[in-house]
């Protein structure tokens, strides 16, 4: 089985005729950590609810762990665990009682049940609170309980819908490590999140969903590379149009040319280099480099340098600084982040929807 999740034109129309999922084609490879990103209301939770057999689909097809969600829901349910967006535990039961209830629901073998629950409670460091009522727990403790409950039957595929919202940084890390560990053990993890750092850090592949459709799918680095590529392509197209208009007549087309020029996106790469012994020769040498657009000397030994983007630009800068006797303490680049990708892709989709494409 190549894919743990596979959907073909999956559709969900709610009772009020709202189409929340619109011919969705989503693939998550088996034994990977797949991220699902998307703006509020994009249809992420609706998709997860269909894939975990909590709500019926309206159309299309989906297979989870190789089983059809409509025709083989029991097969699907036995192989999945789910940490929902809103914690759904019994408030008047204790942590342990909640987990036991889940274990019994999934017919976990009584012989191994107690040990299994002990191990999981210890794994996420919530065993000390196992006899507390859920209603008396903090949000993070409830989330940990929810994670334990979702894992008690050893699922092959674990769905987590915004599992780290509101958690403190240490607890977040516990959950990230747990997701990576579970994946190392051969499980597939589906992670819905608005935390770009989290998704970038742990996901092998990301699907960005907007208005119920997949609008991008790649590795985190692949998405960032695509963003730069699209930006460069867009600028190239604008420059060609400007050239054509200039050849036709600069004066007649001045307004349009100026408009196009202002729509060019800054492609330069900005880096910050900390050098403890900046001197005038060093800065002059940097300014002379072909790859350098601009150098600004800031306080505390900081050089803010704008570069023409190329694989060797940063190399040239380092070599030049060293040749002038500079002591480089650190270099920071401002490559696109996953958040840049998210904003660019979802803004584009919104614009297309507005224009009726």
Ligand X SMILES: Nc1ncnc2c1ncn2[C@@H]1O[C@H](COP(=O)(O)OP(=O)(O)OP(=O)(O)O)[C@@H](O)[C@H]1O
List 4, 5, 10, 20, residue binding ligand X (CB under 6 A): 20
Backbone angles phi, psi at 62, to 5 degrees: -150, 140
- Can you tell me the distance from the alpha carbon of 29 to that of 220, in angstroms, rounded to the nearest whole number? 15
Near ligand X by CB under 6 A: residue from 7, 45, 193, 207: 45
Residue 262 touches which member of Mg ion, ligand X, none, C-beta under 5-8 Å by kind: none
Q: Nearest-CA neighbor of 193 among 6, 351, 29, 40? A: 40
CB 12 within 8 A of CB 57: yes
Instruction: Please give the Cα distance from 217 to 295 (Å, whole number).
Output: 37
Q: Name residues contacting ligand X, limited to 180-209 (CB under 6 A).
A: none
Minimum CB distance to ligand X, residue 53 (Å): 16
Nearer to ligand X among residue 11 and residue 93 (C-beta): 11
Whole-number Å distance between alpha carbons of 303 and 276: 10
7, 45, 130, 349: which one binds Mg ion (CB under 5 A): 45
Could you give the CA distance from residue 175 to residue 202 in angstroms, rounded to a whole number?
A: 11
Contacts by residues 109-112 (CB-CB < 8 Å, ≥ 24 positions apart) = none
Tell me how many degrees the CA angle 10-14-18 measures, rounded to the nearest 5: 90
For ligand X, which residue of 34, 38, 84, 140 counts as binding (CB under 6 A)?
38
Q: State which of positions 63-102 bind ligand X (CB under 6 A).
A: 85
Which stretch in 8-16, 44-52, 240-248, 266-274 sits in contact with Mg ion by CB under 5 A? 44-52
- Side-chain-facing half-sphere of 114: CA atoms under 13 Å: 1
220 binds ligand X (CB under 6 A): no
Q: Is 138 helix (H, G, I), strand (E, B) or coil?
A: coil
Instruction: Confirm or reject binding of residue 42 to ligand X (CB under 6 A).
Output: yes
The reply to whether 14 sits near ligand X by the rule CB under 6 A is yes
Site string for ligand X, 111-140 (x = CB under 6 A): ------------------------------
52 binds Mg ion, rule: CB under 5 A: no
CB of 48 to ligand X, least distance (A): 8
* Alpha carbons 306 and 312: distance in angstroms, whole number: 14
Contact status, residue 199 vs residue 338, Cβ threshold 8 Å: yes
- Listed ranges 36-44, 139-147, 216-224, 305-313: which one lies at the site for ligand X (CB under 6 A): 36-44
Closest approach, Cβ 276 to Mg ion, in A, equals: 48
Summarize as ranges the residues that interact with ligand X (CB under 6 A). Answer: 14, 16, 18, 20, 38, 40-46, 85
Q: Which residues bind Mg ion (CB under 5 A)?
A: 44-45, 85
């Amino acid at each position: 089985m190549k894919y743990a999740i596979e959907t073909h034109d999956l559709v969900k129309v709610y009772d009020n005729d709202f189409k929340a999922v619109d011919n969705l084609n989503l693939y998550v490879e088996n034994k990977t950590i797949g991220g699902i990103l998307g703006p509020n209301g994009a249809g992420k939770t609706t998709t997860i609810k269909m894939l975990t057999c909590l709500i019926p689909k309206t159309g299309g097809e989906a297979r989870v762990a190789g089983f059809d969600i409509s025709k083989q829901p029991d097969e699907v349910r036995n192989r999945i665990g789910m940490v929902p967006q809103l914690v759904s535990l019994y408030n008047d039961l204790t942590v342990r009682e909640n987990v036991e209830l889940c274990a019994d629901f999934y017919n976990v073998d009584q012989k191994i049940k107690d040990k299994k629950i002990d191990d999981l409670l210890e794994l996420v460091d919530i065993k000390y609170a196992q006899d507390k009522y859920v209603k008396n727990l903090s949000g993070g403790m409830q989330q940990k309980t929810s994670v334990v409950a979702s894992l008690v039957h050893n699922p092959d595929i674990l769905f987590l819908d915004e599992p780290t919202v509101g958690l403190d940084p240490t607890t977040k890390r516990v959950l990230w490590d747990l997701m990576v560990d579970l994946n190392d053990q051969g499980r597939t993890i589906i992670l819905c999140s608005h935390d770009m750092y989290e998704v970038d850090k742990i996901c092998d592949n990301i699907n960005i969903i907007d208005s119920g459709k997949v609008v991008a799918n790649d590795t985190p680095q692949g998405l960032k590379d695509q963003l730069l590529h699209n930006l460069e392509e867009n600028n190239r197209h604008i420059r060609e149009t400007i050239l054509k208009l200039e050849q036709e007549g600069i004066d007649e087309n001045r307004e349009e040319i100026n408009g196009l020029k202002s729509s060019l996106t800054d492609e330069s790469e900005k880096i910050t280099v900390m050098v403890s012994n900046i001197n005038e020769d060093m800065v002059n040498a940097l300014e002379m480099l072909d790859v350098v657009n601009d150098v600004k000397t800031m306080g505390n030994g900081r050089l803010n340098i704008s570069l023409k983007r190329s694989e060797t630009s940063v190399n040239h800068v380092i070599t030049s600084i060293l040749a002038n006797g500079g002591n480089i303490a650190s270099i920071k680049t401002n490559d696109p982040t996953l958040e840049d990708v998210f904003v660019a892709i979802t803004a584009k989709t919104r614009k297309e929807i507005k224009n009726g494409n």
